[in-house]
Amino acid sequence: MRVELRDIRKYFGAVKANDGISLTLEPGKIYALVGENGAGKSTLMKILSGYQPPTGGEILLDDQPARFHSPADALAKGVGMLYQDPLDMPPFRVIDNYLLGRDSRLVLDYKTARDELAQLAARYGFDIDPNATIDSLSMGQRQQLELVRLLAGGAQVLILDEPTTGISAEQKEVLFESMRTMTREEGKTVILVSHKLEEVQELCIHAYVLRRGKLVGAQSLPCGNEILVEMMFGQMPQRSRRPLFQLGQPVLELRDVAISTYELTVPDINLSVRAGEVFGFAGLEGSGQRLVMQVCAGLMAPSKGQVNVGGQDVTGWGYHRMQAHGMGYVAAGRLEEGLVAGLSLTEHLVLARPEKKFFIDWKGNEAEMTERITTYQIVGRPETTADALSGGNQQRLLFSLLNTPLKLLLLEHPTRGLDVRSADYTWQLLYQRREHGTAILFISADLDEIIAHSDRIAVFSGGRMSRVVEATQTSAEELGHLIGGQA
């Protein structure tokens, strides 16, 4: 299917998210759509996938004009989108989600659905248990299910928005191979929206670059990353170095902590993180590092052992009590766990305040939110709803809502969905918190990020914390071997 976008415009009041964008996509190829956060990439793809209508312009599929009234309408005409946050129902089973929106009969045909699901999963090398509940799956498995649903729905054009964020290296390779199969063997058109330029260079044959709502260039791939970066930002952004810092006394101490769930048991965690220290967790998704993070946040209790924060035994404390004690937590699921769709940025600020008042100073909160929008470079306004922001701007919003000061800051994939300049700026803001004695504990699927920003790194493999290494004395290759269980 050949896709052509002509003069696409999308205005939100005075904000021009897309301002006259025209581009052409030929079948059987993988294209990249790149640009800094807020450049208009997700908005353009939501228009192409029927999620929202354009203010003006035209979409042509195989030279025929097409107008979509919903994502289901777009999928019926061959265009499907895999969003940054999968659109599924976590309490339901995989097979129920597979049928969702596809079978409207009173009695669902589960047998045929299971056969279809098994065939498609096998074709693309996906590992999907039809009887598992969605909330038991990793992010990579949820993405695989969404892709299978789109393919079963007849998608000929597939849009993948930041698909490798928060998934394991193995799942990423499976995803990449499935994309090659779709284009080379099946003639589908794939659009990759990503900030990870190495992945763009590896997969795509052509890149379209957006900046501030406009198409500023097109580039054949592969090419030097600096060419794409200059097109994205107008210049090469300066990368800052991690500043040196004198660490203080222990802030977080885990003593013989064990965690048990129906999926995994994590035994014998002994760990000490000092004031001002940046401590990274490396491991495949589902290796136990997120469970340790949730115990530190008060979201679950350990089966045994002791958790100390700031010299106080906080074992078994709940999340809100931990917050009052000086803990901050930014979860991976932005709209699932961190933000509330439909609420404005100002309303989020009111909810995030530690003090609760009967009367709310809306003008004062709006003024403070305006300041935080500037500080954290959020492309939005105080009255903008959280779900109207791009994924990268949602991430910035989560950081802007953290209280000050904090004893302990827990982060899952802190630069998820951020471009290179925004990621660098975010880490500079995090480093500033060290001056107040904040200990930072973070998870990332990007081993280079873990090495670049950590003082020490704990490696998780198969449910065990196998080793703690100094970041300056290791490499991504060594971490990869340790994560894989190799000595």
Residues 293-343: tens digit of each pLDDT:
999 999 999 999 999 999 999 999 999 999 999 999 998 888 888 899 899
* Distance separating alpha carbons of residues 324 and 312, to the nearest angstrom: 13
The answer to whether residues 215 and 208 touch, using CB atoms and an 8 Å cutoff, is yes
Range name among 87-96, 176-185, 229-238, 374-383 with the lowest pLDDT average: 229-238
pLDDT computed for residue 104 by the predictor? 66
Token output for 169: 């290296």
The overall average pLDDT reported for the chain is 89
Q: What is the mean pLDDT of residues 99-114?
A: 78
pLDDT computed for residue 387 by the predictor? 87
Give pTM, 2 decimals. Answer: 0.72
Range name among 61-75, 175-189, 384-398 with the lowest pLDDT average: 384-398
pLDDT computed for residue 383 by the predictor? 93
Range name among 31-45, 156-170, 195-209, 452-466 with the lowest pLDDT average: 156-170
* Domain 250-483 fold: Rossmann fold (3.40.50)
**Residue 119, exposed/middle/buried by CB under 10 A (0-12, 13-18, 19+)?**
exposed
First to last CA, the chain: 49
Q: Is the pLDDT of residue 98 over 70?
A: yes
Q: Is the pLDDT of residue 447 over 80?
A: yes
Range name among 32-46, 180-194, 263-277, 410-424 with the lowest pLDDT average: 410-424
In residues, how long is the chain? 487
Strand runs labelled E in 198-355: 206-211, 214-220, 250-260, 265-274, 278-283, 304-309, 312-313, 327-330
* SS3 sequence of 65-88: EECCCCHHHHHHCCEEEECCCCCC
pLDDT computed for residue 136 by the predictor? 81
pLDDT computed for residue 333 by the predictor? 81
Query: 199 — phi, psi (to 5°)?
Result: -70, -40
Q: What is the mean pLDDT of residues 367-390?
A: 91
Q: Is the pLDDT of residue 137 over 90?
A: no
Residue with tokens 């005409």: 77
Range name among 18-22, 38-42, 77-81, 416-420 with the lowest pLDDT average: 416-420
User: 3-233 in CATH: which number?
Assistant: 3.40.50.300
The greatest distance separating any two alpha carbons of the chain, rounded to the nearest whole angstrom, comes to 68
If we measure between CA atoms, which residue out of 285, 291, 241, 251 comes closest to residue 267?
291
Query: 412 — phi, psi (to 5°)?
Result: -110, 120
The larger pLDDT score, comparing residue 146 to residue 15, is at 146
The larger pLDDT score, comparing residue 431 to residue 138, is at 431
pLDDT computed for residue 105 by the predictor? 67
Residues 347-372: pLDDT tens digits? Answer: 999 999 888 788 999 999 999 999 99
Query: 406 — phi, psi (to 5°)?
Result: -130, 140
Give the DSSP H or E segment for 439: strand 439-443
* H-only helix segments in 54-181: 71-76, 94-99, 110-124, 139-152, 169-180
pLDDT computed for residue 166 by the predictor? 65
The larger pLDDT score, comparing residue 65 to residue 36, is at 65
Percent of the chain clearing pLDDT 70 (strictly above)? 97
Range name among 87-101, 227-241, 304-318 with the lowest pLDDT average: 227-241
Q: How many CA atoms does the CB half-sphere of 121 hold within 13 Å?
A: 20
If we measure between CA atoms, which residue out of 73, 64, 62, 126 comes closest to residue 98?
126
What residues contact 224, with CB distance under 8 A and at least 6 apart?
A: none
Q: Which residue spans of the chain are classified as CATH 3.40.50.300?
A: 3-233, 250-483
The answer to whether residues 233 and 39 touch, using CB atoms and an 8 Å cutoff, is no
Range name among 60-74, 161-175, 180-194 with the lowest pLDDT average: 161-175
Q: Is the pLDDT of residue 134 over 70?
A: yes
If we measure between CA atoms, which residue out of 200, 178, 150, 159 comes closest to residue 41?
159
pLDDT interval class at 162 (50, 70, 90): confident
Q: What are the C-alpha distances in Å from 156 to residues 49, 53, 152, 382, 441?
A: 12, 20, 10, 39, 42
pLDDT computed for residue 243 by the predictor? 72
Residues 12-45: pLDDT tens digits? Answer: 877 788 999 999 999 999 999 998 877 889 899 9
Q: Is the pLDDT of residue 487 over 60?
A: no
Percent of the chain clearing pLDDT 90 (strictly above)? 51
Q: Is the pLDDT of residue 188 over 70?
A: yes
Token output for 407: 């004893």
* Distance separating alpha carbons of residues 388 and 392, to the nearest angstrom: 12
pLDDT interval class at 373 (50, 70, 90): very high
Q: How many CA atoms does the CB half-sphere of 179 hold within 13 Å?
A: 26
pLDDT computed for residue 139 by the predictor? 77
Residues 399-408: pLDDT tens digits? Answer: 999 988 899 9
Query: 198 — phi, psi (to 5°)?
Result: -65, -40
pLDDT computed for residue 249 by the predictor? 93
- Which 8-state DSSP code applies to residue 390? -
